Structure 1
């Protein structure tokens, strides 16, 4: 079931923002398991009791952090796939991957924190719908790219834009995780180049493409 709690808002939300920022820092540096309310308030330099003034518990804080991840995903998708862009599918995925890689290099541990928060949501009944929404957002962004490419190329593929979009989301999600696990051993450029080749070949054998 979707969560229905509303964030506790006060006239001055500065302390709430400090706690959220501190939680992001602790998660990125030490992981979700180490992110206790005491560690969060220590990182923020605030009294421990301040946490429960702003949040009913860690669950509410994590809910807000995961919601931010979903919104950030939408913003990144819009940035690498602007209206009227002539980038191909693989180039758009490559651009999105570079955004994630640059973010991780600038703020180490942040991308892994996203995966940890997703795993936490899946293990927490009250947060599980957030994980569903997160991956629905992945699919939505990828499906928009796929459908746009198929229309431009006059291509018809099994499952249409939805199936191709899901494939792109899986490739992107898996590529980021593979790079986090083994930066030296993974080769995103080769993967995206192969994807580009496969899509080009699919376009040439598509029934609609051959009818041009």
Structure 2
């Protein structure tokens, strides 16, 4: 999986053949096929693994009692500190999958995992702050997932003119009135 991620990050998804990935890993192609039935199965695992560092950073911030803003900042630090090509990979994989009907399910699964992650984060935030959202938590989770996804893409395209922290603060300011016990709520410390 690491070899697949490196190939995609350096050369793009079109270059990520089982043969090329095996070369990058320094193993016979048959070994890759032993672990993964096909490229589809391998790409699913690569997409799932891409979320792990972000999930871990947010979990650490949550366990520390940090509010939504610090959780989002922790997630974005993972993006900033990672290889740029590796961060472009999920977007390239999405567009590649959407262009091929037989792989479109990968894009749906990718964004389903983003929504699930956003919903889980919002559920934890709601529980910690007694938030009363105007919509169900899954919708708020979708909002956070879409915001974060778009913010990462904007930052990758134009880092100098994308004020990540200002956007994250605005999102938290928009959410704060619904959570009176949140550290981000006006009038709390």
Report the TM-score when normalising by structure 1.
0.69
Structure with the bigger RCO (C-alpha within 8 Å, sep 6+) is: 1
1:54 equivalent to 2:35? Answer: no
Q: What's 1:142 paired with?
A: 118
The CA RMSD measured in Å over matched residues stands at: 2.7
Q: What's 1:157 paired with?
A: 133
Q: What's 1:93 paired with?
A: 72
Q: Cα offset for 1:26?
A: 1.4
Q: Is the 8 A contact 1:118 1:131 kept in 2?
A: yes
Q: What's 1:81 paired with?
A: 62
* Cα distance in 1 for residues equivalent to 2:158 and 2:170: 20
Q: Is the 8 A contact 1:143 1:165 kept in 2?
A: yes
> Structure 1: which 5+ residue stretches go unaligned?
1-19, 205-212
Q: What's 1:132 paired with?
A: 108
- Residues 86 and 63 (structure 1), Cα distance of their counterparts in 2 relative to 1, 3 Å cut: closer
Report the TM-score when normalising by structure 2.
0.76
Q: What's 1:120 paired with?
A: 96
Q: Is the 8 A contact 1:67 1:130 kept in 2?
A: no
Give the SS at the match of 2:160: coil
Q: What's 2:151 paired with?
A: 175
- Of 20-29 and 182-191, more deviation after overlay is shown by 20-29
- Residues 153 and 182 (structure 1), Cα distance of their counterparts in 2 relative to 1, 3 Å cut: same
1:195 alignment partner, one of 164, 167, 171: 171
* Cα distance in 1 for residues equivalent to 2:118 and 2:31: 39
- CA deviation digits over 1:70-128, x for unaligned, max 9? 5555444433433xx4222122111111112112xxx3311111222233333444443
- CA deviation digits over 1:44-95, x for unaligned, max 9? 445xxx324532543343233234335555444433433xx42221221111
- Of 191-200 and 117-126, more deviation after overlay is shown by 117-126
